[in-house]
Amino acid sequence: MNVSQAIGIFLNYHGMNSRQTTLRNHAFVLARFSHHFGEREPESISSDEILSFLTKLTEGRNQSTKRLRYAVLSAFFNFVKSTINPELQNPCGTPMLRKLFRVSKPTRWKILDKEVVDEVIFRTVKARNRLMLELMARGGMRVGEVLKLTPRNIEDRKLLLADPKSGKEREVVYIPQKVADRLKAYITDRGLGPDQRIFPITYQAARAVVKKAGDVVGIHLRAHDLRRHAATYASRSGTPLEIVSKVILRHANLSTTQRYLGKVTDAEAMRWIENLYG
């Protein structure tokens, strides 16, 4: 079986099992790989040829793009090894290639205490701004999701998101009853129609709202800090990781969620042990 045939099987598999963005990334890299090596057998391709191909394909690109394109090729050869030829040695697996295109260590973000987030919200006077902050901090919403909300999206304590980032047809955000009540009252007070945006401001303006709210309490605050807080607070209050991941953050993989939860300090670890066994 030549490379072009193997690529066809690989893309067909991902067409049934992966998101469209993943499939597009794979197709982009592998179409160019097939152009150069399509008639060759996968076993005949050397690490030096992989390096030459990736160097040309990623010239002028940032490191994250280089890592992504290397990962696509490596995944393709691993697929061939696991499904077509168990004897294949992945030419992407050499120490030099792994080093050149290595994946950086996951970023660990500073996690805000509940008391700090509560103060940020309570000291925000404007109803619109406070609601936006609460939806991010209590519902784990992304700023873009908040800005797209319309009254039609609201079903009591559920917010129905159309065309979410995950590529699914729809996702559901669950919010506390008090936040839901304030949101519905806000819509009623302003006489908003079913398809009108509840928060008709730009991304830049929304980020400025968040930054200003943080400035009031003396911290540097970004919109995604509030989403991370929603996950961390839920996790450290005893919520199962599956609920944090699938319900609050709506992640496809638990490993992505774990990056959000921050590093546990010695003091926190001792407090949890005392709560459990003290």
* Per-domain boundaries in the chain: 3-100, 114-277
C-alpha to C-alpha distance for 5 and 73, rounded to whole angstroms = 15
Indicate the residue type of 49. E
Q: Which CATH number fits domain 3-100: 1.10.3470, 1.20.120, 3.30.200, 1.10.150?
A: 1.10.150
CB atoms under 10 Å from CB of 241, counted, come to 14
**Residue of 121, 124, 133 lying closest to 199 (CA atoms):** 133
The lowest-confidence range among 19-33, 105-119, 169-183 is 105-119
pLDDT digits 0-9 by tens, 240-278: 888 888 888 888 777 667 766 765 566 666 765 676 675
The yes-or-no verdict on residue 111 having pLDDT over 80 is no
pTM: 0.58
Domain 114-277: assigned CATH number: 1.10.443.10
Same fold for the pair 3-100 and 114-277: no
What integer pLDDT is reported at residue 42 of this predicted model? Answer: 95
